[in-house]
Amino acid sequence: MNNIMLDLETLATTSDAVVVSIGAVAFDPTTGVLGERFYVELQDLEYQQSLGRKISANTVRWWLDQGPIVQRALADTPMEHVDRVDMRTALERFARYIERNGDREALIWGNGADFDNMILGSLYQSAGYKAPWSYGRNRCYRTLKALGIARGVIPPNRAGVHHNALDDAVHQTEHLTTILACLGPR
């Protein structure tokens, strides 16, 4: 599998946002079969700020409107069985994850490609790392979602926690493969 749906939870909506969590799932766009999942929370948010990354007041307000399960990604103590790691460990793990799921052929989907993909690429830059995929591999779920709405494609039922980065990635993948199926055979 070399398609990867990426979802981030962040503390701003600009490309230099502080990143709270990284979720992803590998998938086969033809069959909709899901592969390896990825989820980490980042513990060193202040460190990201010290590198110049941003927290927006409006986004903090948005977090305050979310339920307690979503907010645990930001709380001092993570939920049980959740990996909470420092920024560089998270980025190294995600790079290994891409290597295992398509490596240089990996296509990275974001909602949109100018949001999740840009922010994560920028986080690699902040860490002094090269992003493990090139811009030519960016794919935009937001564009396909709009196309699906325009064609009356009914999204699949939503499972999991809204705004949990992994649950969002899984839902977005299920929605995307539904839309691709409606667009006809490849």
In the complex, least distance from residue 49 CB atom to Mg ion, rounded to whole angstroms: 21
In the complex, least distance from residue 81 CB atom to Mg ion, rounded to whole angstroms: 20
Q: What single-letter amino acid sits at 33?
A: V
Q: Using CB atoms, what's the residue nearest to Mg ion?
A: 168
Q: Which of 53, 3, 30, 15 is nearest to 169 (CA)?
A: 3
Q: Tokens in use for 92? A: 């190294």
Question: Which helix or strand (DSSP H or E) is residue 148 part of?
Answer: helix 141-150
Nearer to Mg ion by Cβ, of 7 and 174: the residue is: 7
Q: What would the DSSP string read from start to end of 86-120?
A: -HHHHHHHHHHHHHHTTGGG-EEEESSIIIIIHHH
Name which position in 2, 3, 4, 7 contacts Mg ion (CB under 5 A): 7
Q: Residue 168, interface with Mg ion (CB under 5 A)?
A: yes
Q: Provide the 3-class DSSP secondary structure of residue 123.
A: helix
How buried is 67 (Cβ within 10 angstroms: 0-12 exposed, 13-18 middle, 19+ buried)? Answer: exposed
Binding range to Mg ion, per CB under 5 A, among 7-15, 94-102, 125-133, 147-155? 7-15
Q: Residue 174, interface with Mg ion (CB under 5 A)?
A: no
In the complex, least distance from residue 10 CB atom to Mg ion, rounded to whole angstroms: 9
In the complex, least distance from residue 99 CB atom to Mg ion, rounded to whole angstroms: 24
Nearer to Mg ion by Cβ, of 84 and 181: the residue is: 84
* Contact set with Mg ion (CB under 5 A): 7, 168
